[in-house]
Every structure is written in structure tokens, then in C-alpha cells.
């Protein structure tokens, strides 16, 4: 009797899946507004206020002078890929300009975040006064705006030289849930490229020490980066977590001291989450090359009109998404699951049929566990920009495979067609929507959310 019940159940599921696969595609388009109108509306909704002129945060005067390695901080310029900072020995002759100053004694463009440890020790003998200013640049090194106002730096050479990474929580959006796989970032020490991050379940015994914690629950060494991507799904273990980072030398010893300790709280999720998002780095977050999922303004979920749980994981392929479904999606049993799957796969040359098989696996699991799968069509790629950003080639047949995958998605009961909104005049991902040709930037993420919001009543339950 038990075997007969199992057989009947399997047959019923197979019949329903057959109906889903052979259903006629919807004749109406999901959202019938003009594409350009949606784009314009999206651009006017400036949810993250910003200006193209950086604004300094910290100041060094006679009462609070700097050491010979002052930390210079400024507010982030949205969309900046990197920054150019210059040290002057007099006030600039061209304030609010974009050209370099004749009073420049040092400059660097090797800045990919909104802070920099300057080293002025070699300039003390020949200069009495120091000023600094910074401007934002795009990927090609073009100025996005004018230089910041010049700030004087008063130096006390007797002060201790700081060698401590700074947790970069400046300009962070608050009251947003962390993704399943957290990302940690910081402002680096001058000329130090290797860092080790440690995660703890309680505060460290010594703040700003030099010895790693004996009871840390996880650690990771990274180099030539300002970010550390967690390898584990922290949302599965509610509690308060603490993390800090240190610069290390070739022997793994601490350079300077640990950063201040930062914490985050993972709350207990309800038995069934209302809406979750599932995908690769486009879902995980980040963009404009220099911003990670820790920068929530680069996550499309930030601009949705309903709360979501971010189950994205950077680097995912369609196969790895299907493989981690049981471990990363099922614990939350979302009622609705927004699925964007396959961008990395088509870039690498995976045939559409293989990606579709992975989508079928995901869809089947959703059906079995009463999860509504809502598929997003794949967006176009821009192979030239991808190569310029990452130095990797894109499969020449990417568009053909994308079309095959999207044709399948458009036959599903619940889907949102985002593909048509991201093209440029050459039939590729528009550069103004994605600097690197793959990951939408702020404007692109807002556009994704605009389209999803317009379809929410149709697809969400």
C-alpha cells in the first residue's frame, strides 16, 4: 500500500510538470509600459542621494593634529570606480575644478574606496603646509565631478603612526537585512596588501590587539582586495557575530594592530519567509567594479517595495545554484522565490539546454516544497566591457544561449521579463547600466527593481 501511494504521488507530480512545460506561452507582455519611460522614471527616483563632489569627513587642526600618516576620509560618490587624491603645499589655484593643481606634491589614483592612509613623512623637510583633496573617476579615469574642497592637514610628527585597518561602515544603508553570505570590507593600511579577517561569537578579549582570538569561529586571508566574502551561510545560525581584520606580513604576523570590532545580528527567521531572492553575484549585490554586496545601494533588493531575504551567492553557475538549493533555500521555505540563474553560465559557454535542466531541477524542488518559482529573464552581456574589467573572454555564442534560456523562462507560469530594458544600440548590455558589462550598477539595480515592482501583484502570492 505504501509503495502504491508513492507511485501515485510521483505520477501526479510528473503530470503537473508536464503541463507546466507544454503550456502555451503568455501572449501578453508582463509589463506593457514603454521601455524608455521605465528607464526615465527609474533615473528620476534617486533613492540614494549623492553628489559628484566628494565631501571630506575628518579634519586635522591644531587641537586634533594628525600623525605623519593621516587617515583621509570622504563620503562615497555613487558610481565612482576609483578616486584620485592629491596632496598640496598650498591652497589650490583652481578650487571646484577638475584639473590638477600646480601646488601638487603627491598624487595617487590607487584608491578604490572612500578613504586613504597618506604617508607624509618624506615631505616634512621641504614643506611647511599640507592640504588634500580628492575627486571621483569612472572606469576610464575620467572625472565624474570636481575635486573636493581642499582641507588643511596639521601634522604632529611625534604622534604614533597608525597601522590599523578601518571598518568601512561609512555611508552604509541601515535597517536592511544582511545576505545569506555576508561580505566584510575595510579601508586598508598604507602599502599593505595582505589581510586576515576573523569572525567570533563574542567580543575579542583585547580590542585593537595583535594576537588572533583563540575562540574565533572562522577566519580567511585575502590579498589585494578591500573585501572578504564569507564562505558560510550565516543566516542559518541566528545570533550576534563579531568581526575584525588585521594586516599581515609574509609570515602571517600582525602589522600594526587589529581594526576595531564590528558586529551584526542574525535574527531568527519565520517558519516561512514571504519572499526570497536566489541567484549569483547579480542577486548577491555589488557593482561598478569597486563595490561589494556590503554596499547595499548596489543591491536591487534595496529598491523593492516589499521585504526580501537575499540568498544570492557570488560566482554561482546554474549548476551550483541547483546543487545548493537544499542547503540554502529549503531552510527558509520561502512562499515566493525570485530566481535569476545562468548569467555566469552563458558567459562561460554553457549550452542553453544544460542551464534549462538546472532550472527544471530548481523548479521541481520548488513545486515539491510549495515554493512559487518566479523566474527573471537573463540580461544581455557586454563582452568588451567584461574583458576590459576582468580580462576574460565571453563565449561567442552567449546571445544564442541567452535567447534559448529566456524562451524557456517565458513559458513558465510565473516570470518577469527584464531582458528588453538593458540593451544598448549594439544589442549588448548598456554601459551606463553596467560598468563591467555583467553586473548592473546603481541605475541598473534600480531599473531591475522598478520592473519587478511593476509585476509584483501578478506574480507574488
Confidence (pLDDT) at 37: 54
Confidence (pLDDT) at 40: 52
pLDDT at 302 over 90: yes
87: DSSP letter: E
d(CA 244, CA 260): 6
Q: What is the CATH architecture of 166-266?
A: Sandwich (2.60)
- Name the nearest CA neighbour of 89 among 132, 129, 141, 43: 129
d(CA 227, CA 293): 10
* Average pLDDT of span 23-40: 42
Q: What is the CATH architecture of 71-152?
A: Sandwich (2.60)
Strands (E), 358-411: 372-376
**Residue range 64-114, pLDDT digits in tens:** 999 999 999 999 999 999 999 999 999 999 998 899 999 999 999 999 999
* Average pLDDT of span 260-265: 96
Cβ contacts of 1 within 8 Å, gap of 6 or more: none
What ranges do the domains of the chain cover? 9-44+271-459, 71-152, 166-266
Confidence (pLDDT) at 17: 44
d(CA 95, CA 93): 6
pLDDT at 362 over 50: yes
Give pairs for 296-300: CB < 8 Å, separation 24+. Answer: 296/172, 296/173, 296/176, 297/47, 297/48, 297/78, 297/173, 297/442, 297/445, 298/441, 298/442, 298/445, 299/176, 299/179, 299/445, 300/440, 300/445, 300/446, 300/448, 300/449, 300/452
CATH topology of domain 9-44+271-459: Rossmann fold (3.40.50)
pLDDT at 193 over 90: yes
DSSP string covering 43-65, please?
Answer: HH---S---SS--B---B-SSS-
CATH fold match for the domains 9-44+271-459 and 166-266: no
Confidence (pLDDT) at 336: 98
Confidence (pLDDT) at 377: 98
Phi, then psi, of 104 in degrees rounded to 5: -70, 130
**Residue range 48-65, pLDDT digits in tens:** 334 699 999 999 999 999
d(CA 208, CA 228): 19
- Name the nearest CA neighbour of 445 among 34, 25, 46, 12: 46
Threshold 0.85, pTM exceeds = yes
- Partners of residue 106 on adjacent β-strands: 87
Amino acid at each position: 500500500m505504501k509503495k502504491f501511494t508513492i507511485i501515485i504521488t510521483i505520477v501526479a507530480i510528473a503530470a503537473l510538470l508536464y503541463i507546466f512545460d507544454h503550456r502555451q506561452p503568455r501572449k501578453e507582455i508582463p509589463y506593457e509600459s514603454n521601455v524608455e519611460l521605465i528607464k526615465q522614471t527609474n533615473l528620476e527616483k534617486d533613492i540614494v542621494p549623492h553628489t559628484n563632489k566628494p565631501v571630506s569627513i575628518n579634519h586635522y587642526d591644531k587641537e586634533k593634529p594628525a600623525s605623519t600618516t593621516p587617515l583621509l576620509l570622504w563620503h562615497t560618490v555613487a558610481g565612482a570606480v576609483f578616486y584620485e587624491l592629491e596632496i598640496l603645499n598650498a591652497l589650490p589655484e583652481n578650487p571646484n575644478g577638475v584639473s590638477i593643481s600646480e601646488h601638487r606634491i603627491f598624487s595617487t589614483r590607487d584608491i578604490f574606496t572612500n578613504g586613504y592612509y597618506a604617508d607624509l613623512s618624506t615631505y616634512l623637510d621641504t614643506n611647511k603646509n599640507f592640504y588634500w583633496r580628492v575627486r571621483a573617476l569612472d572606469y576610464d579615469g575620467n572625472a565624474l565631478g570636481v575635486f573636493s574642497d581642499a582641507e588643511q592637514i596639521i601634522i604632529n610628527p611625534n604622534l604614533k603612526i597608525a597601522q590599523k585597518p578601518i571598518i568601512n561602515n561609512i555611508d552604509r544603508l541601515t535597517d536592511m537585512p544582511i545576505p545569506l553570505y555576508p561580505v566584510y570590507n575595510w579601508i586598508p593600511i598604507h602599502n599593505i596588501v595582505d589581510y586576515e579577517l576573523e569572525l567570533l561569537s563574542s567580543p575579542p578579549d583585547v580590542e585593537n590587539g595583535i594576537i588572533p582570538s583563540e575562540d574565533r569561529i572562522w577566519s580567511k586571508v585575502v590579498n589585494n582586495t578591500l573585501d572578504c566574502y564569507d564562505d558560510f551561510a550565516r543566516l542559518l545560525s541566528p545570533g550576534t557575530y563579531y568581526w575584525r581584520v588585521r594586516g599581515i606580513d609574509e609570515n602571517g604576523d600582525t602589522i600594526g594592530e587589529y581594526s576595531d570590532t564590528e558586529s551584526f545580528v542574525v535574527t531568527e527567521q519565520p517558519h516561512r519567509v514571504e519572499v526570497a531572492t536566489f541567484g549569483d553575484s547579480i542577486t548577491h549585490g555589488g557593482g561598478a567594479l569597486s563595490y561589494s554586496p556590503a554596499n547595499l545601494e548596489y543591491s536591487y533588493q534595496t529598491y523593492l517595495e516589499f521585504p526580501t531575504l537575499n540568498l544570492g551567492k557570488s560566482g554561482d553557475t546554474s549548476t551550483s545554484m541547483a546543487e545548493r538549493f537544499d542547503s540554502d533555500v529549503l531552510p527558509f521555505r520561502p512562499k515566493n522565490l525570485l530566481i535569476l540563474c545562468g548569467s555566469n553560465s552563458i558567459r562561460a559557454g554553457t549550452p542553453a539546454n544544460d542551464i534549462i535542466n538546472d532550472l527544471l531541477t530548481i523548479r521541481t524542488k520548488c513545486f515539491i516544497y510549495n515554493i512559487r518559482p518566479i523566474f527573471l529573464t537573463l540580461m544581455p552581456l557586454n563582452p568588451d566591457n567584461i574583458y576590459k574589467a576582468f580580462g576574460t573572454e565571453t563565449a561567442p555564442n552567449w546571445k544564442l544561449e541567452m535567447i534559448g534560456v529566456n524562451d524557456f523562462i517565458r513559458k513558465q507560469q510565473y516570470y518577469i521579463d527584464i531582458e528588453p530594458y538593458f540593451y544598448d544600440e549594439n544589442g549588448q548590455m548598456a554601459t551606463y547600466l553596467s560598468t563591467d558589462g555583467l553586473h548592473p550598477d546603481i541605475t541598473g539595480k534600480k531599473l531591475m527593481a522598478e520592473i519587478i515592482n511593476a509585476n509584483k501583484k501578478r506574480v507574488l502570492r
